[in-house]
């Protein structure tokens, strides 16, 4: 079997297997899997509105996935995407509420504020890792909690004790009349364009620039990078800063597009953590992140339709979705089985 055929077959078989096992789970729990999957399908592609909402859901996953993948490529495990996203969300919303400026200045300013906030939240663990060899996983996990509670406190302060800010000024919004009309007034916003541009930016940094060359070299082998005269510490900090900026922008998508405000949270959004799975599903490549984010975003949003349309409880739905993602992630096992099967065929000849 040629490599290309295998590469194509693996994800297809993985998804089918995942769907099958998901169906068994629904059957055993006494629900109709066909109805369930029809509801899932309609929840993703049912009409222009759901398609719009699905793409909206994919947008922050794209950026969160890029953030994790970028750090991974530089040999760092950024679990702090969640926290960086939260501070980015707040920063963008704050800039959106605090001032009113012409759109051409206001919107970029709000996005940049989110990126800077995320970058700052990534800079701290980067600095500690580079200077004191503190493992970034520990620091980023802790920074997540700090982000959550600090932004909650700030939201209360800026909203005079309320639990959400005002809506942002229209001049800072990513909403677009054109997209709303196209998708039957879904919350689809221009953020998807920004997210796709960022996919290109990550690809460009990694594959075309000297910075990307250094980041990848440091990610693979710090000793050889140092020998070759690269500044390993600078690269570690920079990787975390850029990763954090991507994560901050994911927050901006929620602040300026989906919600147009920020509210205090009882817990994490989960987008940052799902970003780890998105990045790994996409093998930490920019194009792979598009695939991973699309899968995650579609399933997450489409699943919301399953309780309503097919009467399947949300708990079962979440298990089914998790099973499908699990099988996609186990592509390696499928690849192995395919190779075995083709080897046997060869022997039989």
Residue numbers at the binding site for other proteins (CB under 8 A): 208-213, 216-217, 220-221, 223-231
User: Can you list the pairs that 134-142 forms with residues at least 24 positions away whose Cβ atoms lie under 8 Å?
Assistant: 136/76, 136/77, 136/78, 136/79, 136/80, 136/240, 137/77, 137/79, 139/80, 140/77, 140/78, 140/79, 140/80, 140/83, 141/79, 141/80
Q: Which residue, 157 or 209, is less far from other proteins as judged by CB?
A: 209
Between 114 and 218, CB nearer to other proteins: 218
Structure tokens at 265: 């949270």
Q: Between residues 42 and 231, which has the closer beta carbon with respect to other proteins?
A: 231
Q: Smallest distance from the beta carbon of 67 to other proteins, in angstroms?
A: 22
Min. distance of Cβ 71 from other proteins in angstroms? 17
The full length of the chain comes to 349
SS3 189: strand
100: phi then psi, degrees, rounded to nearest 5: -120, 125
Nearer to other proteins, 145 or 220 (CB): 220
Could you write out the three-class secondary structure of 67-90?
HHHHHHHCCCCCCCHHHHHHHHHH
> Which residue in 193, 228, 211, 236 sits closest to 63, CA to CA?
193
Dihedral sign from CA coordinates of 42, 45, 48, 51: positive
- Least CB distance to other proteins at residue 121 (A): 26
Closest approach of other proteins to the CB of residue 69, in Å: 16
Please report how close the Cβ of residue 102 comes to other proteins at its closest, in angstroms: 32
User: In this complex, which beta carbon is closest to other proteins, that of residue 73 or of residue 187?
Assistant: 73
Q: What are phi and psi of 175, to 5 degrees?
A: -60, 150
Question: Shortest gap between Cβ of 341 and other proteins (angstroms)?
Answer: 18
Q: Are 109 and 95 in contact (CB under 8 A)?
A: yes
For other proteins, the closer CB: 104 or 348: 348
Least Cβ distance, residue 75 to other proteins (angstroms): 11
What are the φ and ψ backbone dihedral angles of 330, each rounded to 5 degrees?
A: -90, 20
Residue closer to other proteins, measured from CB, 76 or 250: 76
């Amino acid at each position: 079997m040629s490599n290309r055929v295998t590469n194509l077959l693996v994800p297809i078989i993985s998804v089918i297997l995942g769907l099958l096992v998901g169906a068994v789970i629904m059957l055993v729990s006494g629900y109709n899997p066909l109805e369930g999957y029809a509801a899932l399908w309609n929840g993703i592609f049912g009409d222009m509105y759901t398609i719009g909402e699905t793409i909206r859901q994919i947008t922050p996953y794209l950026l969160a996935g890029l953030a994790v993948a970028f750090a991974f490529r530089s040999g760092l495990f950024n679990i702090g995407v969640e926290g960086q996203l939260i501070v980015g969300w707040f920063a963008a919303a704050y800039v959106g509420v605090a001032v009113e400026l012409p759109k051409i200045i206001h919107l970029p300013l709000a996005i940049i504020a989110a990126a800077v906030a995320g970058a700052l939240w990534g800079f701290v663990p980067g600095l500690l890792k580079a200077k004191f060899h503190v493992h970034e996983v520990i620091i980023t996990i802790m920074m997540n909690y700090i982000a959550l509670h600090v932004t909650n406190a700030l939201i209360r302060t800026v909203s005079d004790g309320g639990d959400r800010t005002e809506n942002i000024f229209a001049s800072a919004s990513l909403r677009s009349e054109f997209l709303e009309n196209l998708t039957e007034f879904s919350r689809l916003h221009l953020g998807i364009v920004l997210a796709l541009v960022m996919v290109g930016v990550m690809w460009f940094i990694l594959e075309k620039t000297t910075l990307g060359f250094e980041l990848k070299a440091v990610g693979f082998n710090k000793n050889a990078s140092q020998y070759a005269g690269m500044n390993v510490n600078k690269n570690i900090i920079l990787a975390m800063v850029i990763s954090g900026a991507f994560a901050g922008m994911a927050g901006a998508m929620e602040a300026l597009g989906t919600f147009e405000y920020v509210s205090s949270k009882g817990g994490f959004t989960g987008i940052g953590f799902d970003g780890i799975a998105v990045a790994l599903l996409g093998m930490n490549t920019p194009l792979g992140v598009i695939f991973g984010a699309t899968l995650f975003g579609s399933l997450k949003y489409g699943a919301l339709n399953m309780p309503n349309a097919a009467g399947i409880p949300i708990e079962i739905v979440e298990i089914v979705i998790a099973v499908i993602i699990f099988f996609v992630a186990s592509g390696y096992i499928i690849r192995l089985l395919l190779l075995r099967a083709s080897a046997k065929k060869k022997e039989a000849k």
